[in-house]
């Protein structure tokens, strides 16, 4: 069975695989902020339709297959980083360093909802907003 941390780590991986370590942390913190705001678990928050585009059209089974593939790649540093970040953010004493609740890649899209939000940070290819 796939755990909450694995769903969380997979979400960070699918959203920020090619981003710097700090970008992966920011994506994880946005996820945690969303979970807190919505009063849902991180795993349930990850799978909210259209909240994280990496889940659009994917089932937990399909993502489990991706996880199995990443687990078989011992030199996959991005996956190792995502698992470590997810584990740390899930600790009860972890406090996010950002108030960002959303992010997007301006080279790929220009979402309507971003116009009414304040930019908190720019890391890698993503803008983070609240």
Tens of pLDDT, residue by residue over 92-109, are: 889 999 999 999 999 999
Q: What is the mean pLDDT of residues 14-35?
A: 97
Q: What is the mean pLDDT of residues 4-31?
A: 97
Q: At a CB cut-off of 8 Å and minimum separation 6, what does 27 contact?
A: 11, 12, 15, 16, 19, 103, 126
Residue 62 CB: number of other CB atoms within 10 A?
Answer: 11
Tens of pLDDT, residue by residue over 53-86, are: 999 999 999 999 999 999 999 999 999 999 999 9
pLDDT at 1 over 90: no
Structure-block tokens of residue 92 = 């009860």
The whole-number pLDDT of residue 49 equals 92
* pLDDT tier at 43, thresholds 50, 70, 90: very high
């Amino acid at each position: 069975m796939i755990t909450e941390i694995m769903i969380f780590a997979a979400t960070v991986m699918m959203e920020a695989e090619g981003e710097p370590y700090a970008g992966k942390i920011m994506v994880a913190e946005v996820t945690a902020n969303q979970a807190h705001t919505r009063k849902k678990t991180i795993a349930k928050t990850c799978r909210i339709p259209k909240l994280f585009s990496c889940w659009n059209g994917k089932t937990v089974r399909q993502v489990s297959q991706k996880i199995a593939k990443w687990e078989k790649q011992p030199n996959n540093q991005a996956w190792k980083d995502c698992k470590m970040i997810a584990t740390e953010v899930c600790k009860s004493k972890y406090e996010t360093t950002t108030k960002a609740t959303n992010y997007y890649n301006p080279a790929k899209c220009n979402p309507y909802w971003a116009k009414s939000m304040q930019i908190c940070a720019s890391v890698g290819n993503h803008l983070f907003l609240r």
